[in-house]
Amino acid sequence: MTRDDLPNVVEGALRELGGSAPLVAVAREIWDRYEPELRSSGDLFYTWQYDMRWAAQKLRDAHKLTYRRSKGRHHWQLT
């Protein structure tokens, strides 16, 4: 897995979560589905949660994702 895979990974995780979820739930879903790939991804293993946010920005730029803050937490939603 590489950083460039993460937009698709984030989008897939959100689909699995019904299209909308808090950031922490998205991170948990990604970890549950991709732990072995993340562990063997070199430096990405140490940066994947930061890079997940970068991927979300890429999806926002493509008008595929929106987000809002609720009770101090980010909530992501597919458009």
- The burial class, CB within 10 Å (0-12 / 13-18 / 19+), for 11 is buried
Please give the pLDDT value at position 13. 98
pTM of the full structure: 0.92
Residue 24 is predicted with a pLDDT of 94
Total tally of structural domains belonging to the chain? 1
pLDDT in tens, the chain (79 residues): 999 999 999 999 999 999 999 999 999 999 999 999 999 999 999 999 999 999 999 999 999 999 988 788 889 999 9
Domain of residue 67 covers: 3-78
CATH number at residue 27: 1.10.10
